[in-house]
Amino acid sequence: MRLDTRGTAFVVYEDIYDAKTAVDHLSGFNVANRYLIVLYYQQAKMSKKFDQKKKEEEIARMQEKYGVSTKDK
């Protein structure tokens, strides 16, 4: 089964309980033959992914600069 995503929407709730209700009750809801996936946005998790990517890019630059390879020959 292949899921085809058509877009992303962000909804900001003033009340955390309203956000929890949305996650609890709208996830899996069918709209126009498409199912909603409702998640909490976790800024700390997203920034960790960004930081990790930044570190990996820096390591790759250093390996290239000094001619170091981590690949098996």
- Model-level pTM greater than 0.75? no
Longest dimension (CA), the chain: 56
Quick check: 18 pLDDT over 80?
yes
**Gap between the Cα atoms of 34 and 32, Å rounded:** 5
Classify the C-alpha dihedral 19-20-23-25 as positive or negative. negative
Higher pLDDT among residues 47 and 55, named by residue:
55
Quick check: 35 pLDDT over 70?
yes
pLDDT for the residue numbered 3: 59
- Determine the 3-state secondary structure of 73 from DSSP: coil
Q: What size, in residues, is the chain? A: 73
